[in-house]
Amino acid sequence: MSSKTAGWIFGCLLVLAAPIGVKAQTPDGADRGAIRLFLDCQGRIHCDMDFLRREIRFVDFMRDRQDADVHVLGVSQNSGGGQILTFSFIGLRDFDSVTANYDVAVSSTDTSDEQRRKISRTLQMGLMEFVARTPAAERIQITYEAPETNDATALEEQKPDPWNFWVFRIGANGFTFGESRQSFLNYSGSVNASRVTDDWKIVFGSHASKQISDFTFSDGTTLHSTQESYGWNGLVVSSINSNWSFGFAGDVNSSTYSNTKIQFQFYPAVEFNAFPYDESSRQSLIFRYGIGVRAVAYNEVTIYDKTEETLPEHVFAVQLQQNQPWGRTSIELNAAQVLSDLSKYQVGVYGNLNIRLVRGLDLRLNGSYSKINNQLSLPRGGATDEEVLLRRQQLETNYRYNGSFGLSYRFGSIFNNIVNPRMRGIGGGGGGGEVFFF
């Protein structure tokens, strides 16, 4: 081996060994006396980690809960005009006796920047419970902006709500795709109104959609496919106490896919939550029962020789939801049965689990299974090959299932403070699983 080759190999070994040293666990800008934070945003909460790392400089962000002093668990619930985000601050190690909960209201009209600033402000407020017990408190400065007495905005906020808690939303969507021998067009629209208070929950909505597809085969023939659906639904719920609710649900809908010209459903229902509803951001165990009627007219004669019918039905559901430091889970069992013919029923179970098994190792499971014996709207003529392939019509089945699972394992530095957005979208840098831009 030549001296030049040996020197080149030795130099490569030095470069590879350089990161392995005393400072490998000390990122730039980290304060070794700072609170160690593990931020756990679950469900529909979007925590912009790059933004939060830049805004909250008085903590060290940890990659794993086991290395943290504080575990912040964030969960969300729908509100009348957006979402209520609940952040639970759970003390670990020397802070195991300290806990706190903070809520932040996110409006459906808030921009993404407004949402992330609200989250940042809430996190900083909650972390003061812990920072105040450390020497880092001496380096914290508190500021307050007093409202001006002639501030028109402040005066406006003091006025009663002119909308009386009503929130309205109108939306329209469109999508198109095309190639030489195929094209696809889908457009839809919706109108929704809701009023949510502690005592009442009122929700009304309507939707309509149309899907158009065209295909050209090798022999020059073409196939044109159209699917349409529209509907209206409503829900009125009264809060009886911290565990019981009573309400009415109804809808009117039409769908070419399910052979339904027009269908009307109405169900009074009662619901019991084993936990108080104000704990539902962390846990709930709900039992729900409803009994009502379904009247339907079909586009085509069904396999039971019906063009229309009225059916008394009852429905039952059990739902368990948990959002805990170890992860989150949701399991639901529901059933529906025709009272005039008890052999016509459907039973389904649905579940998802996201659990932290050990340090760095996460398990994700999702699945559902339904036993189906109530496909009353199937057309007597069956479905053509084109309708089967294009899913233009519901097919006969006595069960339905789906499932997925995943494992992920992360290891390495325990710190998670650094923000480096350079050339974002290229390769998989930063452990984020990004894709090459072309």
d(CA 435, CA 438): 8
**Mind giving me the DSSP string for 93-118?**
GGGTT-EEEEEEEEETT--HHHHHHH
Residue-level pLDDT at 23: 37
Look at residue 154 and tell me if it is in a domain.
no
Look at residue 291 and tell me if it is in a domain.
yes
User: Do 183 and 45 share a structural domain?
Assistant: no
- Pick the most confident of 211-225, 263-277, 397-411: 263-277
Question: Does 390 reside within a domain?
Answer: yes
Domain identity same for 210 and 316: yes
The torsion defined by the Cα of 416, 422, 425 and 431, in degrees rounded to 10, comes to -20
Let me know if residue 2 belongs to a domain. no
Flag whether 150 is in a domain.
Answer: no
At 378 the pLDDT is 82
- Is 132 in the same domain as 173? no
Q: Tell me what the mean pLDDT of segment 145-169 comes to.
A: 69
136 and 170 inside one domain: no
Examine the domain organization and report whether 208 and 322 are in the same domain: yes
- Residue 14: pLDDT over 70: no
Query: Which CATH number fits the domain that encloses residue 135?
Result: 3.40.50.10070
Mean pLDDT (whole number) for 276-283: 84
pLDDT of 431: 46
| Domain co-membership, 121 together with 173 | no
Residue 19, pLDDT > 70, answer: no
| Average pLDDT along the chain | 83
Total of domains in the chain: 2
Instruction: Report pLDDT digits (tens) over 403-426.
Output: 999 998 878 877 777 767 777 666
Q: What pLDDT score does 3 carry?
A: 55
- Is 83 a residue whose pLDDT tops 90? no
- Pairwise CA distance, residues 320 & 62, whole Å: 30
Q: Are residues 105 and 221 in the same domain?
A: no
Range of the domain at 34: 27-140
Q: Are residues 73 and 127 in the same domain?
A: yes
- Residue 392: what pLDDT? 63
Helix boundaries (H) for 180-241: none
Say if residue 285 is in the same domain as residue 193. Answer: yes
- For 42-76, the pLDDT digits (tens) are 777 788 888 888 888 888 898 888 889 999 988 88
At residue 375, the pLDDT reads 85
Q: Is the pLDDT of residue 26 over 50?
A: no
Residue 310 belongs to a domain:
yes
Same domain membership, residue 265 and residue 136: no
| 180, 218 contact by CB (below 8 A) | no
Residues in contact with 44: Cβ distance below 8 Å, sequence separation at least 6, in sequence order: 76, 83
| CATH classification of the domain holding 366 | 2.40.128
* Phi, then psi, of 314 in degrees rounded to 5: -135, 155
**Quick check: pTM over 0.95?**
no
Specify whether 135 is located in the same domain as 71: yes
Same-domain pairing of 329 and 192: yes
